[in-house]
Amino acid sequence: MSVTRRMLLAGGAASLVSGCDALGSNPSFQSLLRLGETGNFVIQRALSDRMALAREYRPDQRSPIFRANGTRTPPGDAYSAHVAEKFANWQVKVDGLVARPQSFSIAALRAMPQRSQITRHDCVEGWSAIGKWTGVPLKLLLDAAGLQPTARYLVFHCADMMKGETAYYESIDLIDAYHPQTIMAWALNDAVLPVGNGAPVRLRVERQLGYKQAKYVERIEAVASLEGVYGGKGGYWEDRSGYEWYGGI
Amino acid sequence: MPDVIETQPIASVRRGFIFKHRLSTRLWHWVNVITVFIMLMSGLMIFNAHPRLYWGEYGANFDPAWLELPRFPGWATIPSMYNLALARHWHLAFAWVFAFGLLFYLGRSLWNGHLKRDVALSKAEVAPAHLWEDVKKHARLDFHEDDTRYNPLQKITYSLVLFIILPGMVLTGLTMSPGMNAAWPWLLDLFGGRQSARSLHFIFASGIAGFIALHVGLVLLAGPINGMRSMITGWTRIEEKAA
């Protein structure tokens, strides 16, 4: 009796799973599911002040070890050469829909007004790490370049080649771009940013998940739409695996 | 069911049957049968991405975990093959049905008096002697003394599920969202940090799984046909009492 019931339950679970797998691979059902994503984006933006800050922590609340994730060492001779030169010749370009295209060396970024913040990094996988980030508010770079009125998004082009094919890329909208905690960080826990965490400079966009925090940033491009950017979904993992563009949840 | 019956007290009697479950209760029940299974199974897939749980604000591979489990097998997860992005789409879409279903049900039940009349415990019911009687009755598998009302153990369980576990599920879920942390920072204080919220989310989910097992088991013992009928039509058969 109990065996039969267990078999029924297992059979039920198996048919539920296969039914859900079939549904989950159906494009129309997927777009139905993605209404949830749109809803989350719209309601979170409606509920939160544009300038609402991510929580900042005390120094003693930091993770003893800040885990590196994703690319740990970007492949290729060009990046290795930069490491050897201590990134003396690294440039971060700001271009696209801007009035005055810019190119910043790391020294130039470090000479600008800085912001430090101890924040929590949340990976989409579920883990969190707290660390202190120091860098230039992204707003200052945008002010220097002067965004054109048609610019709606910023695309971050990175130096790490993924699976040897495409370099990593991510994008955010202007609400997050001008947020006071959005910085181009060059230091982690008062030390120069390690290679595993995105040296020489990475994005911190504190109200979103880890995959939005582009590392090894070489170019910041202002665009009117994400449609023409790579796969059109606004980021490497968004295009490749279907992760949400809005990584706030 | 016609509206007339909706407004009747719980024990409308008709030829050996009583009207037990209102439309709002039945509707929410069956929506949840689907939604909760999808939430649990897509949740297990999300858990599989990092099957370790921590207390406090942070927690990653180098930090001590209070619980580390092997990955859940494919038959228990949605989707069955590892796909975190798709599991999140399932989970975060059905979270809306789950959360607003709960809000709708609690609002409706407060409004129509269901919570006060049928779920709230009276002083007499929580008296230890009375509770002990009820425990003994359950142990004898005697569920039919009075089919017109929930018994005290049932009320305690439903209260726990309705007011602690289900709202806790929604709130700990929101606490894991970095966007919501900025919008509602009190969420982090309420649960003692994001990783604590993630742990509690898992504990509450286990509570729901336990409730489902208990609930289905008791329905099978108490009479599955009558149970199904009353949750579909609202009407339940009253046990003929021997004189």
Q: Report the chain A residue with the minimal C-alpha distance to residue B88.
A: A243
pLDDT of A1 > 50? The answer is: no
pLDDT of A106 > 90? The answer is: yes
**Residue A127 · residue B178 · CB < 8 Å:** no
Please give the backbone phi and psi of residue A65, each rounded to the nearest 5 degrees, phi first: -125, 125
Q: Which tens digit of pLDDT belongs to each residue from A28-37?
A: 999 999 999 9
Q: Which tens digit of pLDDT belongs to each residue from A116-148?
A: 999 999 999 999 999 999 999 999 999 999 999
**Chain centroid, CA B72 distance in Å:** 22
Choose among A136, A203, A140: nearest CA to A168. Answer: A203
Average pLDDT rounded to a whole number, residues B158-179: 97
Report residue A78's pLDDT band, with 50, 70 and 90 as the boundaries.
very high
- In B184-229, beta strands by DSSP E: none
Write down the H helix ranges in A48-161: 77-84, 106-111, 138-145
DSSP codes joined into one string, A14-44 = HHHHHHHHHHHT-HHHHHHHHHHHHHHHHHH
Q: Which tens digit of pLDDT belongs to each residue from B173-225?
A: 999 999 999 999 999 999 999 999 999 999 999 999 999 999 999 999 989 99
**Residue B31 · residue B71 · CB < 8 Å:** no
Please give the backbone phi and psi of residue B212, each rounded to the nearest 5 degrees, phi first: -60, -45
Residue type, B89: H
Q: Can you read off the two tokens belonging to residue A52? A: 């609402």
Q: How many CB atoms lie within 10 A of CB A38?
A: 13
Residues 132-191 on A with a CB inside 8 Å of B are: none
pLDDT of B21 > 70? The answer is: yes
- The pLDDT, as a whole number, for residue A10 is 64
- Whether residues B89 and A127 touch (CB distance < 8 A) is answered with no
Identify the bridge partners of residue B236 per DSSP, sorted by sequence position: B18
Choose among A114, A115, A117, A118: nearest CA to A60. Answer: A118
Q: Can you read off the two tokens belonging to residue B236? A: 């339940």
| Helix (H/G/I), strand (E/B), else coil: A160 | strand
Residues 91-120 on A with a CB inside 8 Å of B are: 120
- Whether residues A243 and B80 touch (CB distance < 8 A) is answered with no
- State the SS3 of A198-245: CCCCEEECCCCCHHHCCCCEEEEEEECCCCCCCCCCCCHHHHHHCCCC
- Whether residues B80 and A242 touch (CB distance < 8 A) is answered with no
Average pLDDT rounded to a whole number, residues A82-93: 97
**Residue B176 · residue B201 · CB < 8 Å:** yes
Q: Best interface-test mutation with A: which of B177, B184, B196, B199 has the largest number of A CBs within 10 A?
A: B177
- Structure-token match 């129509």, residue found: B112
pLDDT of B13 > 90? The answer is: no
Q: Does A123 touch chain B (CB under 8 A)?
A: yes
* Global ipTM: 0.92
- The pLDDT, as a whole number, for residue B146 is 73
Residue type, A108: A
Cα gap A7→B6, rounded to integer Å = 39
Residue type, B20: K
Q: Report the chain A residue with the minimal C-alpha distance to residue B83.
A: A241
- Whether residues B182 and A67 touch (CB distance < 8 A) is answered with no
Chain A to chain B Cβ contacts (< 8 Å)? 162
Q: Which of B57, B63, B76 is nearest residue A61 as measured by Cβ atoms?
A: B57
Range of lowest pLDDT (A9-23, A120-134, A171-185, B98-112): A9-23
- The pLDDT, as a whole number, for residue B5 is 44
Q: Report the chain B residue with the minimal C-alpha distance to residue A249.
A: B177
Q: Report the chain A residue with the minimal C-alpha distance to residue B184.
A: A48
Q: Which residues contact A83 (CB under 8 A, 6 or more apart)?
A: A195, A199
Which residues in chain B have Cβ-Cβ distances shorter than 8 Å to A14? 75
- Whether residues A207 and B198 touch (CB distance < 8 A) is answered with no
Choose among A90, A102, A231, A107: nearest CA to A170. Answer: A231
**Chain centroid, CA A45 distance in Å:** 18
Q: Which is more confidently placed, B1 or A118?
A: A118
Q: Report the chain B residue with the minimal C-alpha distance to residue A26.
A: B86
- The pLDDT, as a whole number, for residue A7 is 66
Torsion angle defined by CA atoms of residues B195, B200, B206 and B207, in that order, rounded to the nearest 10 degrees: 180
